[in-house]
Every structure is written in C-alpha cells, then in structure tokens.
Amino acid sequence: MKCENQMTLEFPSKSVNEAFARSAVACFAAQLDPTLEELGDIKTAVSEAVTNCIVHGYPDSIGKITIRCRIMENQTLDIVIRDKGCGIADVAQARTPMFTTGGEERSGMGFTIMESFMHELKVTSQPGRGTTVHMKRRIMKRGGKA
C-alpha cells in the first residue's frame, strides 16, 4: 500500500502527554475527513495504547514513546505506537479481557478497546526491549464509500 503522508512524534512517558498524543493523531487524521465517531474511536485507541506504554511499559521510570502515523491509499490511517520499556512476557495473555499487571485500579480492557475501535490491531513485544502496537483504521469517504 502506498503512503500518501506521514508524521512521527516522540515524547516522554509522562501521563500529561497522553492527551497531547491523542490530539496530535486526531489532528493528523483530520485530513481524511473522518466523522466525529471515527475521530473519537481513533482518539480512544491511541489513548489506550499510550496509557499502556506509560503504566505498563515504564512502571517505575520515564522512557520514550514514539508514534508514527501514515495516511495510506484507500483512506487508511496506519498508527504505530512503540515503547522501549519492560515488554510483555505473554502477549496473548495480555490481550485477554480483564487481564492486567497494573493493579486493581486498572480494568485490563486496553487491548480489547483498541481492537474494537480499529480495523486491525497487532501487538508485538519482547521482555526487556519494549512493545509495539500497530493499528489500522479505514476512514469512510463521504457518501458511504471506503
């Protein structure tokens, strides 16, 4: 698939940057003319992924989070969110609804929410090396055509 536009962000894993990240991705996605519902879905998925980096990737330190967004042909938004934190030992278990390593205040629904709001979700991770969340969302063209 051909890339038509792209941007990359890099920021510290501080909770104050979660809102910045989701707003920046939403502003970039705006060029696809998404509906408010599509934009809300994208913002929610990005928020969940970035929060996972902050809470789980760097639980006891501040590290780096990188977001790469690309506009691909066929109105597809391609988002990659990566940390170089502690990683996930068992990705399949981590993707199970209600599973969390973040304590009782965490719902364990982050990956489930991302998956429900995006058309594709792939999670790769290596313990001690970090986690990558790759999401794709097709944006409907006005008039109902994808």
User: Does residue 91 sit in helix, strand or coil?
Assistant: helix
pLDDT digits 0-9 by tens, 28-63 = 999 999 999 999 999 999 999 999 999 989 999 999
pLDDT of 65 above 90: yes
Q: Could you tell me the pTM of the whole model?
A: 0.87
Task: Delimit the domains of the chain by residue range.
Answer: 3-138
Of the candidates 4, 106, 115, 138, the residue annotated as catalytic is 106
**Vertex 24, ends 75 and 33: CA angle to 5°?**
30
CA distance 76 to 126: 28
- 68 belongs to the catalytic site: no
Q: What is the pLDDT of residue 142?
A: 74
25-34, 48-57, 70-79, 82-91: the lowest-pLDDT one: 82-91
CA distance 131 to 101: 15
- 52 belongs to the catalytic site: yes
Using N-to-C axis directions, what is the helix angle for 110-117 and 36-52, rounded to 10°?
150
pLDDT band for 4, please (50, 70, 90 cuts): very high
What class has domain 3-138? alpha beta
The larger pLDDT score, comparing residue 63 to residue 111, is at 63
- The residue whose two tokens read 């109902």 is 144
Of the candidates 52, 70, 82, 137, the residue annotated as catalytic is 52
**Vertex 38, ends 34 and 44: CA angle to 5°?**
130
Of the candidates 18, 48, 70, 137, the residue annotated as catalytic is 48
Centre a 10 Å sphere on the Cβ of residue 84 and count the other Cβ atoms it contains. Answer: 18
Q: What is the pLDDT of residue 115?
A: 86
- 142 belongs to the catalytic site: no
pLDDT band for 135, please (50, 70, 90 cuts): very high
